[in-house]
Amino acid sequence: MLNREEMIKRAVFPGSFDPITKGHENIIRRALPLFDEIIVAIGLNIEKKGYFKLEDRIFWIKTVFADCNKIKVTSYSGLTVDFCKSVEASYILRGLRTSADFEFERTVGQVNKKLYPAIETVFLLTTPEYTSVNSSIVRDVYKNGGDVSLFIPDGVTLKGK
């Protein structure tokens, strides 16, 4: 068995990615030098139905990162820390846009640490041009016929309800 120093540095970047935004892409690309592998993990919540189909979200993420073999894409349900254990990830990657994000993510990170002491949460600050971008806003612009191309990565063509 490998000791901690010899283990693959694997991070999970959990989210709904409904849809993936340029902000998500930016966080993932900036995190690439930090990890050997990043698993973009679409969390499924039975109480919350996604706007875009899961298959489309997976396809879009794979398309955006087709140039990078360090990125894996999958979906999961249940606790993020349980998923991290199942894929032998030692890190959870999160992006922070605002101080409110920090307060929320800090609390979640502390709970995750209690549930799974081996996990570390790594926060990257969003670059200023993406601070206002989130999936909810993109969906709202899309639903109302606006131009979402400013907010989603190249290669993503939204098709939804």
Active site residues: 24, 48, 97, 135
Among residues 65, 63, 66, the alpha carbon closest in space to that of 155 is found at 63
Q: What is the rounded CA–CA span in Å between residue 94 and residue 105?
A: 8
In angstroms, the Cα distances linking 4 to 8, 12, 33, 34 are 8, 17, 18, 15
Query: Cβ(129)–Cβ(102) under 8 Å?
Result: no
DSSP notation for 100-152: HHHHHHHHHHHHHHHH-TT-EEEEEEPPGGGTT--HHHHHHHHHTT---TTTS
Q: What is the rounded CA–CA span in Å between residue 18 and residue 34?
A: 25
Among residues 68, 65, 123, the alpha carbon closest in space to that of 97 is found at 123
